[in-house]
Amino acid sequence: MAIRFYKIYDFKQDGSEPQALYSARTIEIENKRICLTRLPDGYYAIDDACPHAGARLGLGKCTEDEMIICPIHRYQYNLKTGRGLPKQGDYVNTYPTETRADGVYVGFEKKWWQF
């Protein structure tokens, strides 16, 4: 399936480390809110809305064990897989990211940008 990548950070403009380790923030791509996080091995992108109650995960806490913690009810989601804790039984969508020589990119399957 075709993926279209959107440039989130430009290293010339934003510096070589534009986002702090273990940080989370909300970005908007094509009218869709995404939670962008940074771990030591790279950037991860997931849906910004917690499936439990819709809180913005970009306002949550990113942990050293690769989880994002919802700022409202403390639900947790794995940043690499999108899976919630077993007792939660839910998940968030994940999106591919690439760190290239010129910046950081987040990808969407073609269906998101065809509309």
Structural domain includes residue 81? yes
Structural domain includes residue 114? no
Mean pLDDT computed over 67-87: 95
Q: How many CB atoms lie within 10 A of CB 114?
A: 8
Answer whether 104's CB lies under 8 Å from 8's CB.
yes
Answer whether 57's CB lies under 8 Å from 92's CB.
yes
Structural domain includes residue 115? no
Q: How far does CA 44 lie from the centroid of its chain?
A: 5
Q: How many CB atoms lie within 10 A of CB 9?
A: 22
Structural domain includes residue 102? yes
CATH code (residue 24): 2.102.10.10
The alpha carbons of the chain give a radius of gyration, in whole angstroms, of 14
Q: In the beta sheet, which residues pair with residue 29?
A: 32
Q: Is the pLDDT of residue 112 over 60?
A: no
Q: What Å distances lie between residue 31 and 21, 28, 107, CA to CA?
A: 26, 6, 14
Mean pLDDT computed over 21-25: 97
Structural domain includes residue 103? yes
pLDDT on residue 48:
97
Residue 81 has which token pair? 């897989």
Q: For residue 104, which of 41, 42, 34, 22 has the smallest C-alpha distance?
A: 42
Structural domain includes residue 62? yes
Enter the pTM of the model: 0.91
| Interval 24-42: pLDDT, tens | 999 999 889 999 999 999 9
SS3 for 58? helix
Structural domain includes residue 25? yes
Per the structure, how many domains does the chain have?
1
Structural domain includes residue 16? yes
Residues spanned by the domain of 33: 3-109
